[in-house]
Amino acid sequence: ICIPTTAGTGSEVNRYSVLSNPIRKEKMVISHSLNYPRVAIIDPSLTVSMDRRLTALTGIDALMHALESLTNRLSNFFAEDLAIRAIQIIRRWLPVAIEEPENLQARSYMSYAAMLAGIAIDRKRVALIHGMEHPVSAHYPHIAHAEGLSALGVAITDFNYKGNPEKYALFAELMGYKPEPHMAVKALEDFLEKVGLRLSLKELGVEREKIERLTEDTYMLSRGLFPINPVEPTTEDIYKLYERAYEGY
């Protein structure tokens, strides 16, 4: 039985779990049908006690799930429809949940969006933003998963959008911008700013000299995501993206 007390991971409806190894400084994704709960109970009132920061972080995790599920190279109309609805809800209701933590309507919508995005990644997976984040929070456990996603997301979206212009134009439109692929970058950047998560790896405490190791770990542990990313990256691309995220894009 799974009863989530946050609104972000969608763990109650998907096959994924993440195992952290603090000795090896690695995060490994476990994907198996045994991770599905027999019963999932989603009670939005249990999320009311989250503070503003945690509300923002979990909401951005859900947004990144939806964004990557919508735009990666796999094809699944059902998952994409769920991702679209999740993006619409998060854009509308995450700022409200942050500003009004006891607003049960906002909390309910965010719990729903996290669930939708969780199903979307179960059907259609994530992509490079998640693949590059896991080494960051593995080496720096004080960095929350969604902090790393936020620091990496803008640079990677700028790298990705030409690989799937139709879906990135749709994302921009869903976020209230002109339906043009490059506007997805601006849309994500502005929304992160709005919820207080426009971050750089530098300000999160990542050391520049660690970028080479992060690049190696991304290749070793996440290269299975490379072929489904909108643009398949090289190790040189990964290194440059970490550099951009280090400086804040």
What's 68's domain CATH number?
1.20.1090.10
* Prediction pTM value: 0.97
Q: Is the dihedral of CA 231, 235, 239, 245 positive or negative?
A: positive
| 2 assigned to some structural domain | no
| 89 assigned to some structural domain | yes
**Three-state DSSP state, 233:** coil
Distance CA 132, CA 16 (A): 17
For residue 182, give the H/E element and its range. none
| 163 assigned to some structural domain | yes
pLDDT tens per residue across all 249 residues of the chain: 999 999 999 999 999 999 999 999 999 999 999 999 999 999 999 999 999 999 999 999 999 999 999 999 999 999 999 999 999 999 999 999 999 999 999 999 999 999 999 999 999 999 999 999 999 999 999 999 999 999 999 999 999 999 999 999 999 999 999 999 999 999 999 999 999 999 999 999 999 999 999 999 999 999 999 999 999 999 999 999 999 999 998
Structural domain including 188 reads 11-247
| 3 assigned to some structural domain | no
| 142 assigned to some structural domain | yes
C-alpha distances out from residue 67 to 38, 177, 198, 231, Å: 27, 15, 17, 15
Distance CA 94, CA 112 (A): 12
Distance CA 39, CA 208 (A): 44
**Three-state DSSP state, 96:** helix
Q: What b/e sequence results for 235-246 when a residue is b if at least 16 CB atoms lie within 10 Å of its CB, and e otherwise?
A: eebbbbbbebbb
The single-letter code of the amino acid at 136 is V
| 216 assigned to some structural domain | yes
Neighbours of 234 (CB within 10 A): 11
Q: How much is the pLDDT for 249?
A: 81
Distance CA 110, CA 46 (A): 12
Q: How much is the pLDDT for 231?
A: 99
| 195 assigned to some structural domain | yes
| 5 assigned to some structural domain | no
Count of structural domains, the chain: 1
Distance CA 111, CA 129 (A): 22
Nearest C-alpha neighbor of 102 from the set 46, 42, 43, 56: 46
Distance CA 218, CA 249 (A): 19
